[in-house]
Structure 1
Amino acid sequence: MTGRLPHTLRSDARDNRELILDAARAVFAAEGLNAPMREVARRAGVGPATLYRHFPTKEALAAEAFREQMGACLTIAEEGLADPDPWRGFRLVIERICELHAHDRGFTTAFMTAFPNAMDFAAVREETLRTIAELARRAKDAGALRPDFVLDDLILLIMANCGIQAASPAARVAASRRFAALAIQALQASPRHAPLPPAARLAPVPPHTTVRPTRHHPGTLAGKTS
């Protein structure tokens, strides 16, 4: 019995960790990163002490919870860069990144935050932005992307996409697709005004709602594609 006890404790710890991460993804997706840690613990069915033993800070929890989505962002950027047609690749990146962020408001906030202490997360984020910057440069050289585009314009798109209020998650994704199409037309050097995706049913913003701006590290984005 005593020989199996350490293994049992390790197994329980792994189970708790996965419960916490699943709960964090659900809570952050619904409420964003402003959701309290105690709500994550409640959703996971663990005590606050257990939560903080695994993840001492909300930054550490969010970085681990959204590691998969951050990797997906990098994959999208790399697939766009690999396309022999840089404008087609750029459109793919805008469309898929907007849709990815539309699924999860918490991930948008995590992406926009530098997380300087979460080195792996920050490194993948910076690699994603560098890859998109290179793709944008190629699309400009091909005469397809407007020459005054800078990487901060992508950040503006992500922030605006995050602000979509819709009647359901499916409607939010549909609205995001339409928004991405509008953005792509605005960014094209010679817009052709292709047909937009169908409009989605949007939810009105409740009265007295305060929209808080999302911060990102100053100086990490500006001028990378100029």
Structure 2
Amino acid sequence: MTPIRVLLADDHPVVRRGMRALLGSLDGVEVVGEVANGADAVREAQLARPDVVMMDVQMPGMDGVEATRRVVAAVPSAAVLVLTMFDDDETVLSAMRAGARGYLLKGAEQDEILAALRSVVAGQVVVGPGVAQRLLACLSAPSPTPFPQLTPREREILDRVAAGESNGAIAAALGLAPKTVGNHVSAVFAKLGVATRAEAIVRAREGGLGREERP
């Protein structure tokens, strides 16, 4: 049987070594690489084309949630399985909304990790004990704000983009440099997975932005 090819992403060397040793002891699993931050996880996922990226959440630079979003967009064939110590509702929900196919807590048993790897490769969604019930409750509740992956400033700028304002007009209204607005707009496009301003406007209006009349 073809082994499950796994990329490890965790900023703690001791954790990576321990996880590599654990995975190496499992039948049908092959570790194809390990990285220490989110940006490297995205780059290595595109190079190694693993079946699964085991992703920590808190890493320097690009965090695991944003890295998950980019891996899912760049390598759709790779399933992201989050393995972290954070089990708060916001982190769990952000990771799953970013496209993670599984969410386990560090300390999970060997059999649980192997079962999770097999499940996410098969296209199933897996969450560890204690996380599932809270995740379902969060997903069933309406989001208090549209596009929770955006910062408040990015959401404000997207709102104005959706209202038809140019970058120059937005910069003048918010007291920002046009280049700063342009950087924010680029970040919004990346987080929404859109390539053009028109696509961003459609997504924003579907989320209820850009409808408020401005003077």
Common fold: TM-score over 0.5 = no
TM-score by length of 2: 0.30
TM-score, normalised by the number of residues in structure 1: 0.29
Higher relative contact order (CA 8 A, sep 6+): 1
Higher strand share: 2
Higher helix share: 1
